[in-house]
Chains A and B, each alone.
Chain A
Amino acid sequence: MSTAQLGALSTAMIYAAMAAYAVALVSFAIDISALGDRGPLHRRRRAAAVGMSTTVLAAVFHTAGVALRGLAAGRVPWANMYEFCLVFSLVAVLVFLAFSRGRDIRYLGSLVVGPALLALGLAVTVFFVAADGVQPALQSYWLVIHVSVATIAVGVLTVGAAFSVLQLLRARGDGGPQAERSAVPVGPGGGLAEVDAQVGEGAPVLVDSGALPVVTDPEPDGGGRARGALGGAIERIRQALPSAPELERLAYRLNAVGFVLWTFTLVAGAIWAEAAWGRYWGWDPKEVWTFVIWVVYAGYLHARGTRGWSGTRAAAFSLVGYGCILLNFFAVNLVLTGLHSYSGL
C-alpha cells in the first residue's frame, strides 16, 4: 500500500472511531440521565453497558488509526498538532478503560469520551495535515521519548481532571448521609505536604490512615439548594456518584502519575533542547507553560496535604492545571511564536 493510501486509511479509521465515540457518548448520557430519573445504582444499566462496549470498539479503531498514521509517515505518529490530538485522546480513553477494570467508573464515561470526541473533531477539521516526514529539528530519538511521554501525561491528566470535575460536583452542597461517610481522612499526603498533613489526628474515625487531610463537604445542606426538575435530576445524579473522597482518591492517583510523567517530559525536553538548540532551558513560550503546569500540579500535591484545606480546593488546583495544559496545547502552539512552532499549521 502506498503512503497516501495508508494515510487515507488512517483518517478513515479515525472517522470510524469518532462515530463509535458518538454512540458511546449518547449511551453514557442516557445512562446518566436515567440515574437522574430513577436513581440508584443497583439496577441494570443497559445504556452504560452499550457505552462501554462502543468505547472499546472506538478505541480499537482509534488505535488502528494512530498506528496507520505512523506507518504512513514512516515515523512515530506524534509530530504535529493533529497527531498530538489523536494520541492524547487515545491515551485518555485507554486510561479510562484500564481504570474500569475492577471498579465501576461508567459514570465517568461521558466526561472522557466527550473530550476525546471533541479532540478528534478538532483534529480532523482544524489541525489535519497529510502524513509526512519531519523537519531537521525533530529528527531525534527524543521525539519518541519526550513527546510520547508528554502526550501520555496529557491523556492521564485528562482523566484525572474528569474525576476532579465530578468530585467538585459531588462535594458541592453535599448533604445527608453521604456527609458522614465522606468525612473520613483520605489520600496520601503527597510529597512535602506530609509535614502539615496531620489533620486526621483528632478524628475519632481513623480508617487506615494516619496523617491525612480530611476531604470535607463544606455545605452540609446543599441538597435543599437544588430546585426544580432539572435541579432535582442533577441532585439525583450527584447522589448516585461515589463520595467526594472516593472521587478525590481516584483523581489523585491519576494526577500523581501524570505529575511524574510531566516532570519526566520537562527533563527530557531540557535534554533534547540542549542537543538541538544548545541550551537546556531558554524560557521559550512552550517551556514557560510546561514549567507553569508543573508548578500548578506541584501546588496541587501540596494543597492536598495542607492542613485545613479541603479536597475541594485541591481539585480546583487540578482543574487549573488542566486548563493550563489546554492553553499550552492550543494557545501556545497557535498564537505565541517560539521554537516549538512545529504544529504543522
Chain B
Amino acid sequence: MGQDDAARRDRHARRAAAAAVAVDAQPGRGPYRPAGLDDAFRAAGGPTEEPPVQPALGVVGWIRWVWRQLTSMRVALLLLMLLAVAALPGSLFPQRPQAPERVVRYLEDNPALGPWLDRLGFFDVYASVWFSAIYLLLFISLVGCILPRAAAHLRALRADPPRVPRSFDRFAVRAEAVVETTPDEARRAALRALRGRYRARVGEEDAPGGDVRTLTVRAERGYLRETGNLVFHLALVGVLVGVALGGLFGYRGQVLVIEGRGFANAVVAYDSFDAGVWFRDEALEPFTLALEQFGAEFDPLTLRPRDFAAAVTVTEAGEVERDAVIKVNSPLRVGGARIYLVGNGYAPTVTVRDGSGEVAFAGSVPFLPQDGVYTSRGVIKVPDVSAGGPQLGFVGFLLPTAVLDGQDARSVFPQPLNPVLVLTAYAGDLGLDDGVPQNVYELDTSAMGLVASDGVVDPRRPTDAEPLTLLLEPGQTVELPDGLGSITFDALPRFAALDLRHDPMIGAVLIFALLAIAGLGTSLFVPRRRMWVRLTPGPDGRTVVAAAALARGEDPGLRLDLDRVVDAVRLTSRENT
C-alpha cells in the first residue's frame, strides 16, 4: 500500500515536472531575457515561473499541481471550448425551463432515447451538473489567474519603468540624433514631450571617458491596458455572482387576466409562481391590477401584429388608483417588480345550463391562440351541474373571423370580425372530484361520453358515431341533445398574459456587464509602450541622442511617439542656436 502510494506520487511528480518542462522549455535556448524586456506580468506567478516540482509531491504538492494546471492558460482555453460545446445541446433539445410541453412531446416521440437524455440533463442543460461544473471551474481558473495578476499590476503601477537597456541595437523602433545642446537641456525637452502621456523617470550613467555623465530617461505608458483587462475579467465574475444572487432572491409570477377583471399581488393569485430559494412571501408588495381593455392592431395585408396595448388600472397600498398601459417593449413598474405583456388572446364568455335549466357555469374561458390568425383552442369544464346530472365538458376552437367552407371552418383574420365557437361536447365525469390537479386546457375524457347528434356515446364502448359539432355566434344558444342542457356564447373579451418579475440584482448585473465592455475595449485598444532615451555628451558641447521604443504587439503609433520625443529635442537644439 505504502509502496503503491509512493509509486503513484512519483508518477504524478514526473508528469507534473514533464508538464512544467514542456510549457517552459524553448529547445536549445536558455532562460535569456534581454534587459528592458522583463515584464511586470512575469511576477504574476504563472505556472511556468515555479521551480520544477520535486519528486515527493504529497497531498499539498498534488493540490498545488492541480491548482497550477487549473489556472494555466491551456486549461482555461480547454474549459472555454468545453463551455461552448456544452452550451449547444440547449439549443438543439427542448428545455424544461423554457418549453416544458415540448420536452413532454419529445419524451413521447423518443421513448428509447428520451429518458436517457433526461437522466443526463439534456432537457435542462444550463442547470445540469456538467454545465455547472464547466463554468464553475472556468471561473475558478479565471479568479486564480486574475488575482495574482491584479497584485502584480498594483506593484507595476507603483514601480518605476524598466531600466534602460545597454544597447538599443535590437530595437526596430529607434532613432539617433546629434543636437547642439547639453544633455541636461535635451533631457528636459524630452521630458516635456513625454509629460502627461508617459510615466517617466530620469537616471544617470557613466559616460565613456569624461566628467560629464550620460543622462537617461525611461518611460512607460498604457498601464490602463492591463487595468482594463483585469476589470473585464473581474466584471465577468461580478456578472456571474449577480445572476446567481438574482436567481436566489428573485421571483416570477405568471397570470392571465381577462378584460374587466384583475388580480391581487399574492402568490396564490398567480397561475404559476417561481421563486428563488431565498425568496420570502413578504417580499411581494401588495397591489391590485385590473385589465380595463386590451387593444390589438394587425396589418390588414400581412396579418402580422402591429401593436398590442393592455390598458390597466393599478392600485398600490396606500395610493390612489392610477391608469397605465403595458406594451410589449414597455413593461409596467409596480411594487418593486416589473409587469410584462407576454401574450394575449380571446376568452369567450359562455353560459351553460344543465338539464334542469339551472345555470351550471357562467364565465369567460381563455382560449389559447394556435396560429397567426388566432385560431384559438380551449376547454370549458362544467362540474357544478344539478345533482344527478352528468358533468359537461366542451373542447373546441374559437375562430375570430370564421369562414365556413362546407364542413371546414377556419379563421382568416385575427380580429373578431365574425367570431364563431366550434365545440364538441362530452358528458360524464370530469375526473375533478378526486382532487388531483388537472390542466385547465385539457379535457380528460376517459370517463366521459362523446355527445353525438343522437345522444351520448358510452365511453366504454367506442363507436364511430359522428360527434355533434356545435357552432355558436355571439348571442346564440344551442340546445344539447338528450336534455343535457344548453350553451350560450355571450361575449368575446380578450385576455392578456402578464409576467411579473422581480430580480433585485438586475442593476448590478447591468453595471458589471457595462464594466466588462469598457474593460474589454481598454484592454484591446489602449497601446502599451515603453521608451528609453540616452543622452551622451559629445564633442563641442553637443549631445548624442539615442532613443528606442517598444510596444506590445504591432503598434503603428509607436514610431510617431518616438519621433515626437526626438523632434522635441531637436527643436530645442535649434532654438538654442
Contacts and interface: CB of A to CB of B under 8 A. Distances in A.
Interface of A: 132-133, 135-137, 139-140, 142, 186-196, 198-202, 206-212, 249, 253, 256, 259-260, 263-264, 267, 270-271, 274-285, 288-289, 291-292, 295-296, 298-299, 302-303, 305-308, 332, 336, 338
A282 B246 CA distance: 13
Q: Which 8 A-B pairs have the closest CB atoms?
A: A188-B553, A278-B340, A202-B29, A285-B91, A288-B91, A136-B328, A196-B73, A140-B329
Interface in B450-509: 499, 501, 506, 509
B299 interface: yes
B342 A284 contact: no
B327 A302 contact: no
Interface of B: 23, 26, 29-34, 37, 39, 41-42, 44, 46, 48, 72-74, 76-77, 80-81, 83-84, 87-88, 90-92, 95, 97-98, 125-126, 142, 145-146, 149, 170-173, 226, 229, 232-233, 243, 252, 299, 302, 304-308, 327-331, 338, 340, 342, 499, 501, 506, 509-510, 513-514, 516-517, 520-521, 523-525, 530, 549-555, 558
A278 B73 contact: no
Contacts of A275: 329-331
B307 A188 contact: no
B73 A306 contact: yes
B340 A277 contact: yes
A51 B517 CA distance: 38
A302 B77 contact: yes
Contacts of B37: 200-201, 206, 210-211
Contact of A295 (B73, B87, B243): B87
Contact of A299 (B81, B88, B142, B243): B81
B43 to A, nearest CB: 11
B306 A336 contact: no
Given A136-B306, A189-B553, A207-B172, A278 B501 contact: yes
B87 A190 contact: no
Contacts of A298: 80
B72 to A, nearest CB: 7
Nearest to B548: A208
A5 B395 CA distance: 48
B524 A192 contact: no
A192 B73 CA distance: 8
Nearest to B337: A278
A276 B550 contact: no
A281 B74 CA distance: 29
- Among the interface residues A279, A281, A302, which one has the most CB atoms of the partner chain B within 10 A? A279
7 contacts: A136-B305, A136-B307, A187-B553, A199-B26, A208-B555, A264-B517, A279-B501
A296 B87 CA distance: 12
Nearest to B250: A279
A289 B340 contact: no
Nearest to B77: A302
A208 B87 contact: no
Contact of A208 (B125, B243, B307, B551): B551
A251 B256 CA distance: 52
Contacts of A299: 77, 80-81, 84
B140 to A, nearest CB: 14
A260 B81 contact: no
A303 B75 CA distance: 11
A194 B229 contact: yes
B90 A283 contact: yes
B26 A208 contact: no
Nearest to B37: A210
A186 B553 contact: yes
Given A135-B304, A202-B29, A212-B553, A305 B172 contact: no
A207 B44 CA distance: 24
A188 B554 contact: yes
B59 to A, nearest CB: 27
B521 to A, nearest CB: 5
B234 to A, nearest CB: 11
Contact of A137 (B31, B229, B329): B329
Nearest to A130: B302
Of A199, A284, A288, A291, which is in contact with the most chain B CB atoms at under 10 Å from its CB?
A288
Contacts of A303: 77
Contact of B98 (A142, A208, A282, A307): A282
Nearest to B498: A278
Nearest to B552: A188
A152 to B, nearest CB: 15
Nearest to B72: A196
B314 to A, nearest CB: 17
A277 B41 contact: no
B76 A212 contact: no
Contacts of B554: 186-188, 209, 249, 253
Contact of B145 (A192, A259, A279): A192
B299 A133 contact: yes
Nearest to B512: A267
A192 to B, nearest CB: 6
A10 B506 CA distance: 42
A329 to B, nearest CB: 14
